[in-house]
Amino acid sequence: MGNEEILFQKLGKVFPAGTVLFKEGESGREMYVIQSGKVRISKKVRGEEQVLATLPAGEFFGEMAILNNKPRSATATTVDECKMLVIDPKTFEVMLKNNIEIAVRMIKKLAQRLQEADDQIESLLYRDANSRVVHTLTRAADASGKQVEDGIKVSMSIEDLAGRTGLEPDQAREIINRLEKGKLLKVVPDGLIIAETNRLRKYLEYLSMKEQFENIE
């Protein structure tokens, strides 16, 4: 029996699609590690529920409730049936003490999330929706893009992009369609392929200059 199976026997649970694991503002003392399936993380922004991220297998979430004992900062809902490890504070502490590799991976992931949060804040400083989308895509390409035959692939859905830029999914989709027509990127089933990141950066520079000139009275 493999380590994953042993862990699942001890800590594992299966959650049907559409299960709300926790809601924004609730107290909580458990974190989750996704073994299979996807989980949507969302937050209320100006009264509307915005998707911040869709997490795949291998990701963890809910750790802040253990680390700082504060209410949940977002809502977590299963997209499809999920197998997950459910970890309480005592188990979490034992895991970190007994396995330095887990501790290092968690620190790296938390550092990555802090960087993503900084990028998101920087993106939201742009008033123009097009600039926000292009800025977010260039940052994602630099941080986690993978080289493929047609360019740099970014594993990000339209819903994820909308959540990061504070837009409605339809708005984000419209901008992506325009970028695709301009041959700056291509939409694929599991993300977006940016043809040339330098062209996208130049387009962002153009949008930034346009925004500045429009502000001159």
Asked, for residue 89, whether it belongs to a domain, the answer is yes
- How much is the pLDDT for 217? 46
Q: Both 77 and 144 in a single domain?
A: no
How many domains does the chain contain in total? 2
Mean pLDDT, to the nearest integer, of 124-132?
74
Range of the domain at 10: 3-98
Give every CB contact of residue 154 below 8 A, 6+ residues apart in sequence.
137, 140, 141, 144, 145, 191, 192, 193, 194
**Model confidence band, residue 3 (pLDDT cutoffs 50, 70, 90):** low
Neighbouring CB atoms inside 10 A of 198's CB total 10
- How much is the pLDDT for 130? 86
48-103 pLDDT, tens digit each: 777 777 888 888 898 887 877 788 888 999 999 999 999 888 888 887 788 777 77
Regarding pTM above 0.85, the answer is no
Asked, for residue 109, whether it belongs to a domain, the answer is no
Q: 181: which 2 tokens?
A: 């027509």
Of the residues 80, 98, 116, which one is the last residue of a structural domain? Answer: 98
Q: Both 23 and 94 in a single domain?
A: yes
**Are the C-beta atoms of 197 and 135 separated by less than 8 Å?**
no
- How much is the pLDDT for 32? 92
Residues 73 and 62: their CA atoms lie apart, in Å, by: 9
Residues 191 and 205: their CA atoms lie apart, in Å, by: 24
**Are the C-beta atoms of 40 and 23 separated by less than 8 Å?**
no
Q: 147: domain CATH number? A: 1.10.10.10
Q: Both 46 and 89 in a single domain?
A: yes
Q: Both 159 and 207 in a single domain?
A: yes
**Are the C-beta atoms of 123 and 132 separated by less than 8 Å?**
yes
Residues 119 and 112: their CA atoms lie apart, in Å, by: 11
